[in-house]
């Protein structure tokens, strides 16, 4: 029988927030079964889904890190372009079918060993988020 994980255990394994894991289970993106009010996740199927490169599940192995961070807005992705000029570096990160651009110092890019193809964690910390829609819709 497959080893079953709770939502919290699955979140730890996938390096996601527990609410995100539950939402992915509800959407059918993560292999899970409902038992009463709880979600249970078969460990082997979960790892298999997370390891499939073509999976719509945007889960990647966590970069090895020596620190924990309190910020919840953490997005995993892969560097698609890195432009270093002077003291600054422009880092383009593919996250699902979206792209995020970050400007960091050259020394930070070098210290982190960033390069095209590197798996990274984009941490977004902001006091404001604005939403806009087109005038026609």
Instruction: Provide the pLDDT for residue 115.
Output: 93
Could you write out the DSSP letters of every residue in 60-78? -PPPP-S-----S-EEEEE
Indicate the fold that domain 74-123 takes in CATH. Answer: OB fold (Dihydrolipoamide Acetyltransferase, E2P) (2.40.50)
Instruction: Provide the pLDDT for residue 60.
Output: 44
> What are the structural domain ranges in the chain?
4-51, 74-123
3-state secondary structure of 2: coil
CA angle 10, 16, 21 (to 5 degrees): 55
Instruction: Provide the pLDDT for residue 14.
Output: 81
Instruction: Provide the pLDDT for residue 17.
Output: 84
Mean pLDDT by runs of 10 across the 137 residues of the chain is 82 83 85 89 81 52 56 85 94 92 90 91 78 74
Instruction: Provide the pLDDT for residue 66.
Output: 54
- The answer to whether residues 102 and 122 touch, using CB atoms and an 8 Å cutoff, is yes
């Amino acid at each position: 029988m497959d080893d079953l994980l709770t939502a919290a255990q699955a979140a730890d394994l996938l390096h996601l927030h527990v609410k995100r894991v539950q939402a992915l289970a509800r959407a059918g993106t993560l292999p899970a079964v409902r038992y009463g009010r709880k979600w249970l996740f078969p460990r082997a199927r979960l790892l298999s889904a997370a390891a499939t490169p073509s999976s719509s599940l945007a889960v990647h192995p966590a970069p090895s890190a020596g620190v924990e961070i309190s910020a919840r807005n953490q997005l995993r992705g892969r560097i698609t372009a890195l432009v270093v000029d002077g003291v600054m570096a422009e880092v383009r990160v593919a996250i699902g079918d979206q792209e995020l651009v970050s400007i960091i110092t050259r020394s930070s890019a070098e210290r982190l060993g960033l390069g095209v193809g590197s798996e990274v964690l984009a941490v977004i910390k902001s006091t404001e988020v604005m939403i806009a829609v087109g005038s026609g819709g």
